[in-house]
Structure 1
Amino acid sequence: MESIKAFCERKLLGYSVDQYIIMFVVFTIFLPHYFSLAAMVGVAIYLIYTKQLKKIIFNTPRGHWALIFGALSMAVSLYYQNYRGFMQCVGIVFVAIFILYYRNYVDERLFTFIVDTCCLLSLCCFVWGLLEYAQIVDRLGYPFDEFIVEDSPANRINSTFYNANYYGMMIQFLVLMCLYKILHAKTIHRVVFYVVTILCNLFVLYLSGCRAGWLSFLVTIPLIFYINKHKKTSLFLVLMIVLVVVIVLLNPEIFPRFDNILRYFFNRTKIWFTAIKGICETPLFGRGPSAYYMIYESLNGRKAFHSHSVYLDPLLSFGIVGVGMICYFAWPVVKEVYRLYAKKINIELFALIICAILAVLIHGIFDYTVFWIQTGTVFLLILNSASMYKKDTNDVTL
């Protein structure tokens, strides 16, 4: 009991009130999404009440641009009567405020707690996913141990993340967090814990039927070890991945939803061409989030809620001006991340951030799963974690 008490005191005591609030919001990310949104609305109200809102905005390089972007996107959405997009813009503003708040209070101890919490809560999502899968196969009349995965989104597990593909994106971040912790681990039992956590997450990724979720691992898993100078481990992982890919190509029936991948690819291309037509119609400001859902019918496109591309949907939704504002706001963050590597401050964190970005870009070829309150917030938490080392990066040339 004394050791448990000491562990709890070491892990849970000694944070500021603001850091405890951030911890609570992170916990809600692993609940259904409306809990996360409610928590972030609560954060905004708290910051207004305590008169911190102005401080956290202007303490962040170009922080006010996040709110300007949100206001512009709201105006564009209302102009095109895109009321769904308007509500999503409101959500963007609350997420942006929370991330600015996080940047002002994150330190190494808090970030370590957040990563550990995400890894631990992923096991709760794993159990939830198994129970969900048991209900699905019972309803469809399949035996549990055959691990059959249907095409229909209604018959694929999503745990607490609303959609199977959102869950797939979340699992990619969680696996990378576990690898980050393995690189820091000093005892074998901690390595075993994170390896088991990775395997559990990969198993439910399989059951989710999210095919694009596996693509980033071909690059990110070997790369995170390579960046950290574990070149032999990286090479071994590359060889293992090649072997697995060959086995799947020779036996496509062992991988869920692999046999119809070409049909789904051609469906995606129809969506992409429709999105490109939509971008050409409103290139400067877009039509607000969920613009694809507004235009697909008039352009004879395939029905979808978004354009299934992280490269096309931001342009369709926010236009060249909006995407330019995002890039302008993100540039100081890029400098912070680069400084981790250039100054050799925390190579493990640099590798985690780079691999998280690659996960979004690779998965984003076929889907737009980062544009969701849970996946987007976790990605932004990782991306902005470099701010704990230096707020001012003017000494970095990039």
Structure 2
Amino acid sequence: MKRALNFFREDGDEMTLFSIISLSILLPVYICGPVTLIVMIILAYRHRSSLKEDVQELGWLSIFAFYTFVIAISFRNYMGAMIAIVIFLYALLFLYYKRYVTVRQYLLNLKIFVWGSIPLALLSYFKYTKDVLSQGYDLLYIFKYHNPQTRAEATLFNPNYYGLFIAMVIVIAIYLLYKYDSKRVKLLSLLAIFMNLLALILTGSRWSIPTVVVGMVTMVFFLKPKIAWILGFIMAMAIAMLVIKPDLLPRFTTLAYGFSDRFAIWEIGWKLFITSPIVGRGPFTFVNFYYLFADRGKMHAHQLLIDTMANYGLVGLIILIMAFTHYFRILSHHLLRQDIRPEIGLVVATFATVLFHGLMDVGVFWVQMGYMFLAIVVITPNMLEEISKTTAK
């Protein structure tokens, strides 16, 4: 009991709490969600004396959260109002993360994500095998049927979200391969890449495969540019092969249907945006107002920009741009620095992965992927320099 109360002390170790969240995101959302919320409450309590100053430091993000809450309430979008509170808590969480993260903690987070993906891959193999055999199919089920009902998702919300998780894990694993001299780290990173690529196929997520390609090529480009060009050429040839023979990978024979389905969802998302283009209707607009244009609801518009515009309108979009302008200005200023090129590459490759995936889905706005994404990219140039100077063995 005494040890538990120590978590609330102001001089407590923040990084222990972030390690707990990093481990928890490998578990289902009904576990990692409450864990993350509890850690948010603990950190807010620890820093209660400076909470006003912390909110002011968030600046435009605080304004965005408040704006989102007001808009959601005005449209009786109470689920969206709850998400507005979560947005604020996440912003506060990563304000503390940026303030207290150390080189050791940052690298530990990367290892947790990569090595923790190995048991998730094993879980996806087990669940897939169990499901297909229990239904009387063979193990090549996902290759033989155009619309498979059994797809790997491990502990994530759905196969497409798991695909984004895998894409980010592979980017990190490539960085760890480059960063560490330890044979154990290299072996585990290679194992994670191999096992996640196999799990990726079992997801049957058509857009996650090119997402992985984009992430891999971008990361390798920052580490070994010449190899990246070769890798890019090989990937281009593989894509050409898929166009000629789409049944080489699951669900690629129905790619045209997949695009037409996405176009229909985007159209509804755009129509929802048009109904309130200035201020939006708040988070989960698609879930709460789909009935205006469709008979069946979706969680989101399956496209990052359209979903953002439908949720927050032009005003919300402008506030978001204002909130992140300073960050991207700093990032672009350090983009060509050779001394931190691998670390900048990790950040850029993670952004490229998420944005490319966002062309067809909105997986980053989920507890697990959102935390994982922010834990990689919310980092100062000074910390990047420290990481680059650290010899990892």
The 1-side partners of 2:49 and 2:107 are apart by 25
Identical aligned residues as a percent: 22
Provide the residue aligned with 2:389 in structure 1. none
- Counting only pairs closer than 5 Å after superposition, residues 308-387 of structure 1 correspond to structure 2 as 308-386=302-380
Provide the residue aligned with 2:22 in structure 1. 26
In structure 1, the gaps of 5 or more residues are: 1-14, 392-398
Q: Shift of residue 59 of structure 1?
A: 5.9
Q: 322-331 vs 140-149, which deviates more? A: 140-149
Query: Which of 119, 126, 136 does residue 121 from structure 2 map onto?
Result: 126
Q: Shift of residue 341 of structure 1?
A: 2.8
Question: C-alpha deviations, 1:285-321, integer Å up to 9, x for none?
Answer: 2111111223332224764221110110001001112
Provide the residue aligned with 2:218 in structure 1. 223
Q: Shift of residue 147 of structure 1?
A: 4.7
Query: Which of 158, 181, 194 does residue 199 from structure 1 map onto?
Result: 194
Q: 145-154 vs 312-321, which deviates more? A: 145-154
The 2-side partners of 1:232 and 1:98 are apart by 39
- Counting only pairs closer than 5 Å after superposition, residues 163-178 of structure 1 correspond to structure 2 as 163-178=158-173
Query: Which of 284, 296, 307 does residue 301 from structure 2 map onto?
Result: 307
Q: 3-state DSSP class of the match of 1:297? A: helix
Conserved? CA contact 1:60–1:103, under 8 Å: no
Cα 1:153–1:252 shift into 2, 3 Å: closer
- Number of equivalent positions: 375
Equivalent AA in structure 2 for residue 37 of structure 1: G
Provide the residue aligned with 1:245 in structure 2. 239
In structure 2, the gaps of 5 or more residues are: 1-10, 386-393
TM-score where L is the length of structure 1: 0.86
Q: 341-350 vs 368-377, which deviates more? A: 341-350
The 2-side partners of 1:251 and 1:293 are apart by 37
Equivalent AA in structure 2 for residue 30 of structure 1: L
TM-score where L is the length of structure 2: 0.87
Q: Shift of residue 106 of structure 1?
A: 1.0
- Counting only pairs closer than 5 Å after superposition, residues 1-398 of structure 1 correspond to structure 2 as 17-52=13-48, 54=50, 58=53, 62-144=57-139, 147-148=142-143, 155-228=150-223, 230-300=224-294, 303-386=297-380, 389=383
Equivalent AA in structure 2 for residue 42 of structure 1: I
Conserved? CA contact 2:58–2:92, under 8 Å: no
The 2-side partners of 1:155 and 1:306 are apart by 22
The 1-side partners of 2:173 and 2:357 are apart by 19
Conserved? CA contact 1:108–1:388, under 8 Å: no
Conserved? CA contact 2:291–2:297, under 8 Å: yes
Equivalent AA in structure 2 for residue 322 of structure 1: G
Cα 1:258–1:381 shift into 2, 3 Å: same
Conserved? CA contact 2:43–2:93, under 8 Å: no
Conserved? CA contact 1:40–1:98, under 8 Å: no
Question: C-alpha deviations, 1:140-197, integer Å up to 9, x for none?
Answer: 2212255548676862221111111111111111011001112213245533331221
Conserved? CA contact 1:172–1:213, under 8 Å: yes
Q: Shift of residue 85 of structure 1?
A: 1.9
Cα 1:159–1:150 shift into 2, 3 Å: farther
